[in-house]
Amino acid sequence: MDKEVLPTGATSVDGSPARSAASASQGRKKPNITVTTRSLAETGRTKTDNNGDGRSGRPRRSTPIVPSQGEKVEPVQGVSPAPKEKRAKAAEDQAKARQEVAASAPVTASIGSVQPVQPVQPAPHAPPAPVISAAPPPAPSHPPRPAQPDTPSATKSDTAERFPFLSEGRALETTVGEAILQAAAALGVPEDAVAADTLLVRRNLRSGQQLRHYGNVVIIGDVNAGAEVIATGDIIVVGALRGLAHAGAVGNDDSIVAAYYLRPTQLRVANYIGRAPDQQERNYQGPEVARVRDGRVVVEPYRVLAGRDL
């Protein structure tokens, strides 16, 4: 069910419905993480406008590219139930999205603009900030996986199965993403700069909240136990990380997780899983970095090496 899948690169909100709705309407004016709880079929358009500021923002990597306010875009219809139809639909969307990217000058121009860090901070006078949290659950569009030998740690396909929205995101990279890259290439923007889609979050994530992002995530605040951060790129927490962090979620094992205070319940980098030791008494107080070395997730103190190490 495409519609249930969070547009990749977008953060969604899953607070109480009333709250979400409020934040959605508010998001029309304020730069914010906005979300509607209505389904696509109802709204006839994509779910999330991450910019929400009315300007024609950067393209979100979703199918199709999220229409910014005032821009006329064909509404996306409800979801086709069968996978085959879905694929056909995806292809259609993809073609549409490409046209849009090609047609929309501001969109392509903004790719070339400065590092795309998103303004997600709620306005100071805003009512309670929207809860960054789980997307409406991706419905089981994937059939159960055929039986495999039982392995304690997740395999690569596990990752894809567990995060279908991300595997979808990966597929999108070759569709919408490709269009973005083409547009970027036309402007002479290096591919790396486009891929470095970084989300800046200035708030705490509490138990039960989940942040999923296609790209890197920087959180200025704490990630408490029971909260989850899942990103296809790096995760940096300027604060305490006590929950679960999954960096490189579609398989990039170069990804890192860095935090000022790194005490996660579990760390995942690409398809590697590390957990805190049962008798954990670590005295080290400084910032630390977790990464994959020799097939294991290791945590080491963060050292400034003029960008060589990180």
DSSP string, 283-306: ---S-EEEEEETTEEEEEE----T
Q: Is the peptide bond before 277 cis (omega within 30 degrees of 0)?
A: no
Q: Which is nearer to other proteins, 192 or 278 (CB)?
A: 278
**Pairing relation of β-strands 257-262 and 272-275?**
unpaired
Residues binding other proteins: number (CB under 8 A) = 30
In this chain, which of 106, 116, 164, 221 binds other proteins, going by CB under 8 A? 164
In this chain, which of 228, 231, 256, 262 binds other proteins, going by CB under 8 A? 228
- CA-wise closest residue to 164 among 142, 147, 132, 143: 142
Q: How many CA atoms lie within 13 A of 237 on its CB side?
A: 35
Q: Which is nearer to other proteins, 147 or 306 (CB)?
A: 147
| Residue window 117-146: x/- pattern of binding to other proteins, with contact defined by CB under 8 A | ----------------xx--x-xx-xxxx-
| Residue window 231-250: x/- pattern of binding to other proteins, with contact defined by CB under 8 A | --------------------
In this chain, which of 102, 126, 154, 193 binds other proteins, going by CB under 8 A? 154
Tell me the residue type at 294.
D
In the complex, least distance from residue 138 CB atom to other proteins, rounded to whole angstroms: 8
* Contact status: 4 vs other proteins (CB under 8 A): no
DSSP-derived letter for residue 189 is: -
Q: Which is nearer to other proteins, 145 or 293 (CB)?
A: 145
In the complex, least distance from residue 68 CB atom to other proteins, rounded to whole angstroms: 29
Burial class of residue 14 in the structure, from the number of CB atoms within 10 Å of its CB (0-12 exposed, 13-18 middle, 19+ buried) = buried
Are 262 and 284 in contact by the 8 Å Cβ rule? The answer is no
- Which residues inside 262-281 make contact with other proteins, applying CB under 8 A? 265-266, 273, 275-276, 278
How many Å apart are CA 23 and CA 190, to the nearest integer? 35
How many Å apart are CA 270 and CA 248, to the nearest integer? 5
Q: Which is nearer to other proteins, 58 or 170 (CB)?
A: 170
Residues that bind other proteins (CB under 8 A): 133-134, 137, 139-140, 142-145, 147, 150, 153-154, 158, 161-162, 164, 207-210, 225-226, 228, 265-266, 273, 275-276, 278
